[in-house]
Amino acid sequence: RAKQEGRNGYRFFTSEMQRQSARILQLESALRQAQANRELHLCFQPQVSIDGQRLVGAEALLRWTHPQLGVISPAEFIPIAEGSGLILPIGEWVLRSAVRQMKAWLDQDYPSEMTIAVNLSLVQFRHPGLVELVVDVLQESGLPAHCLELELTESVAMHDPAAAIAVVRRLHALGVRLSVDDFGTGYSSLSYLKQFQVHKLKIDQSFIRQISEDGHDQSIVRAILGMACSLGMLTIAEGVETSAQLAELERLGCAEVQGYLFGKPMAAAEFDARVRQQQLVTGRHAQRAATTC
């Protein structure tokens, strides 16, 4: 009987795998057309000071709506874009579009210290043309380098750390900001953190979800905040959905937050309407909070 179940299990497993690989192939070929067919667009999610009074940044997040397949999540299509190399042209489009939007906002009355955060995949980070691309995008747009924040993941530190540190130094020299996304979920060693000279750690939302009731999450976040502060890095908590989470983060001394509580990722026009309605655009003189430690 066990044998029979095993066989059924095996049969189920292979057909499930076939279904999955067919889906991947279908999405990969659809993704090849997506850029030309204008199926991609960017959403922007506000990043605010812990008191909710100031807009400190926006994260650009890619969206794909296929005419037949509908909305496809980045969690599904980004890995496919990475595996096929399509992430290079798509990522370049994301960077140019996000930077252009940020420049347009700065030319209005958005705070001059505000940053636009763009996610970089490991494939983009390891591509030899990355630094030249960033230089070109900044020149083309006229956006000050310090207004661009590139989000890396801890995986960047794992693969060929020496080469990665060299790229980070070159980006650093341009004046762009660097942050580590999903911090605490990867495998980066703390000694790399020192050499990487990133400006900011983005505390992963898995530590925030239960932070108002889970003492372990509180301890982890407190440790990250303390370490970041003594290394001179900023921090932002991701995935803040409730005022109880916000209150706990404030108690722990976190300076900046991002999450549904302050706004979901939105199209540019909606983002603008929303932050004006919340009076988050308060003029050029809004200063970034000093770190609290």
The CB-of-87 to ligand C2E minimum distance in angstroms stands at 6
Q: Which is nearer to ligand C2E, 35 or 195 (CB)?
A: 35
The CB-of-61 to ligand C2E minimum distance in angstroms stands at 4
The CB-of-128 to ligand C2E minimum distance in angstroms stands at 18
Options 149, 154, 181, 217; binder of Mg ion; rule CB under 5 A: 181
| Residue 86 dihedral angles phi and psi, to the nearest 5° | -65, -20
Q: Which is nearer to Mg ion, 2 or 75 (CB)?
A: 75
The CB-of-42 to ligand C2E minimum distance in angstroms stands at 7
182 makes contact with Mg ion (CB under 5 A): yes
b/e 241-259 (16+ beta carbons within 10 angstroms → b): eeeebbebbeebbbbbbbb
Residue 111 touches which of Mg ion, ligand C2E, none (CB < 5 to 8 A by kind)? none
Binding letters toward Mg ion, positions 43-62, x by CB under 5 A: --------------------
Interface contacts to ligand C2E, rule CB under 6 A: 45, 61-62, 73-75, 78, 91, 94, 119-121, 181-182, 205, 238-241, 259-260, 265
151 makes contact with Mg ion (CB under 5 A): yes
119 makes contact with Mg ion (CB under 5 A): yes
Q: Which is nearer to ligand C2E, 74 or 144 (CB)?
A: 74
Residue 108 touches which of Mg ion, ligand C2E, none (CB < 5 to 8 A by kind)? none
Residue 46 touches which of ligand C2E, Mg ion, none (CB < 5 to 8 A by kind)? none
149 makes contact with Mg ion (CB under 5 A): no
Q: Which is nearer to Mg ion, 154 or 182 (CB)?
A: 182
